[in-house]
A and B are shown apart, each in its own frame.
Chain A
Amino acid sequence: MKGSVGIVKVVFLMLAVACVAVLQSWAPGRAQTRDYGRLPDQEPAVDAGREFPVPFAPLPKTITPCRACHGPEKDFPINVTRREDLLVHRNIQLNHGGVRVWCLDCHHPENRNFLLPLSDGRPITFERSYLLCGKCHGTIFRDWRNGIHGKRTGYWNGEKTYYLCVSCHNPHSPKFKPLEPMPPPHKPWTPKEKQARH
């Protein structure tokens, strides 16, 4: 009995996926897309074979994985029109590039567990978000790769950790927030204070 229910579920799932795929291909104004329902095996970096020692991406725990809501089960339609009312994501203040950039310019429209794909179609994972940032901020990406931009900790002659772009820059509002400076140094005693001391 259990087995037959399981089979039915799988079949239904596959049908749903197929429908979604077909619908996607008919969505107006969209280029041809591929099926990203499955998790890719690995995500190589741009430099063939090279990976950067980055920490885990600082994703908010409450709403990940994104696919839980934006998945085929929930059946949210993909609406690529720029809008302000984001329902669940109202807390996000988007302040990145003004009118040039909005959510779906970075987040993968079909599979919100990923970011936009590379030119060869492979989607970018959140762990490799620098590849996405580097699409527009190429010079910064090159500097980051070489250690000129951004922060690194660890060993100058050994293992390091490269901080991700998003470790310092909130991708929705990437401009660095001003910090409160630490106190200025003490001034040396002026002659008057010196005399007062003695």
Chain B
Amino acid sequence: MERSGFLVQAVKRLVTGPPVYYVWVLVLMALAAAGVTAYTKQVEQGLIITGMTSYVSWGFYIGNFTFLVGVAAAAVLLIIPAYLYEFGPIKEIVIVGEALAVSALAMCMMFVTADLGRPDRIWHLLPGLGILNLPSSMLGWDIVVLNGYMFLNLFIPGYLLSKAYRNEQANMRFIWPFILLSIPWAVSIHTVTAFIYNGLVARPFWNASILAPRFLASAFCSGPALIIIVYQIVRRYTRFHVRDEALFKIAEMISVAMAVNLFLLAAEFFKELYSDTHHLSPLKYLYLGLHGKGVFVPWIWTALVFNVIAFVIFLIPATRKNFATLNLGCVLIIVGIWIEKGIGLIVPGFIPAPLGEVWEYIPTGLEILVSLGVWAIGFLIFTILLKIIIPIETGEFTKVRAAAASLQHMGVRS
């Protein structure tokens, strides 16, 4: 009885909303359908429909995956500043962050699966049934930490929300250790992802100690920026309450993270340009072009410009506290980090190839469609989660009310 009440009410909540909500969901579903269609084409013909070659064997999918792992990590890491700066009701902030983390993780897993040549053999990764190459394979570790993180991000909110739904007291002594565990775990997922690239001796662009710190710094930029936008949307359409000061504090934190990110980038520039060895070539390809090939040069410079502008916006209190510029800064930083850390990190790692050749990579239309589809599915998941989580948190969607509503629906007076 209770379950059907929950489900029925949940579904009702999912299909009701302001007109913009319908448009949003329908657009996402259309994109998701397009993505799935493109993916079936890929399954049919093989990875040849992508722009990847044996020279640049990772591309758009893995670029998006890298970016989204950062988002997933940062979403939960907001717990720390939320707690330190007393943003207010920490659990609310944390839960929305965890919902974002779940959607970002789902997108990560979908991107990795889309990139796999043989997704039918994915069971080979299960320890026991298959073989998981621990401890030496960083991808093996990544699978462990991503799945563990997914579990934490489903379990903690699931527990808290189920308690809230039933108007029960959450046992903080029980759940607090899990919340505490999720903080270093969030750091670890992004560090392990960085280590996937970091440990490869064949790719000097990645084989630099600066990679893992840069990952964390840029994750702290993009994830919270997305959260700022999400919070504004959420508090506009629901009874969810987030103080302005909390948003400004997050923006201030982003400016620090971006400062670190830019400093690390400058450090990379110095090391490569001053030493002037062959290890300069990937950076040269990215920012200047190499041997006449430089399809990414305009993109990376755009990303750099966006990042610097966003940094300035977040740094100056006047622009930080003005919602117009704040949102502009958020969008700029998300796009900038997406370019720089996504495809702007993956593809130059492969150029030049280990034997010196320079072959470029551009994602094909089908590849972009699949990626759009994955993003759409991720946002759909996020929308669904928020549509259910927020009302539970604000107390509108509880078991009592659900039961009452279903009784009313059945014509029985309460």
Physical contact A–B (CB less than 8 Å): yes
Q: Give the interface of A toward B (CB within 8 A).
A: 187-191, 194-195, 198
A182 to B: closest C-beta gap in Å:
19
Cβ contact within 8 Å between B295 and A188: no
B127 within 8 A of A: no
B248 within 8 A of A: no
Inter-chain CB contacts under 8 Å: number: 24
Contacts of B362 in A (CB 8 A): 191, 194-195
Closest residue of chain A to B55 (Cβ to Cβ) is A188
Cβ contact within 8 Å between A188 and B53: yes
Bound Cα distance from A183 to B175, whole angstroms: 67
B364 within 8 A of A: yes
B50 to A: closest C-beta gap in Å:
9
Bound Cα distance from A191 to B343, whole angstroms: 15
Contacts of A198 in B (CB 8 A): 49, 364-366
| Residue interface bits B280-316, CB-to-A below 8 A is 1, else 0 | 0000000000000001000000000000000000000
Cβ contact within 8 Å between A189 and B53: yes
Contacts of B361 in A (CB 8 A): 191
Closest residue of chain B to A197 (Cβ to Cβ) is B364
Q: Give the interface of B toward A (CB within 8 A).
A: 49, 51, 53-55, 295, 359-362, 364-366
Contacts of A187 in B (CB 8 A): 359
Q: Please tell me which one of the listed residues A188, A190, A191, A195 contacts residue B54 in the complex, with CB atoms under 8 A apart.
A: A188
Q: Please tell me which one of the listed residues B49, B360, B364 contacts residue A190 in the complex, with CB atoms under 8 A apart.
A: B360
**Additional A-B contact list (17), CB under 8 Å, known A189-B53, A195-B365:** A187-B359, A188-B54, A188-B55, A188-B359, A189-B51, A190-B359, A190-B360, A191-B51, A191-B295, A191-B361, A191-B362, A194-B51, A194-B362, A195-B364, A198-B364, A198-B365, A198-B366
B63 to A: closest C-beta gap in Å:
15
Contacts of B295 in A (CB 8 A): 191
A189 to B: closest C-beta gap in Å:
7
Contacts of A191 in B (CB 8 A): 51, 295, 360-362
Residue among A187, A189, A190 having the largest count of chain B Cβ atoms under 10 Å: A190
Bound Cα distance from A188 to B360, whole angstroms: 9
Contacts of A195 in B (CB 8 A): 362, 364-365
Bound Cα distance from A180 to B360, whole angstroms: 31
Closest residue of chain A to B51 (Cβ to Cβ) is A194
A84 to B: closest C-beta gap in Å:
50
Bound Cα distance from A191 to B59, whole angstroms: 13
> What would 14 A/B residue contacts be, using CB atoms closer than 8 Å?
A188-B53, A188-B55, A189-B51, A189-B53, A190-B359, A190-B360, A191-B51, A191-B360, A191-B362, A194-B51, A194-B362, A195-B362, A195-B364, A198-B366
Bound Cα distance from A187 to B54, whole angstroms: 11
Contacts of B360 in A (CB 8 A): 190-191
B121 to A: closest C-beta gap in Å:
26
Cβ contact within 8 Å between B359 and A194: no
B347 to A: closest C-beta gap in Å:
11
B370 to A: closest C-beta gap in Å:
13
Contacts of B359 in A (CB 8 A): 187-188, 190
Bound Cα distance from A198 to B367, whole angstroms: 11
Closest residue of chain A to B41 (Cβ to Cβ) is A198
Bound Cα distance from A105 to B89, whole angstroms: 103
Bound Cα distance from A191 to B359, whole angstroms: 9
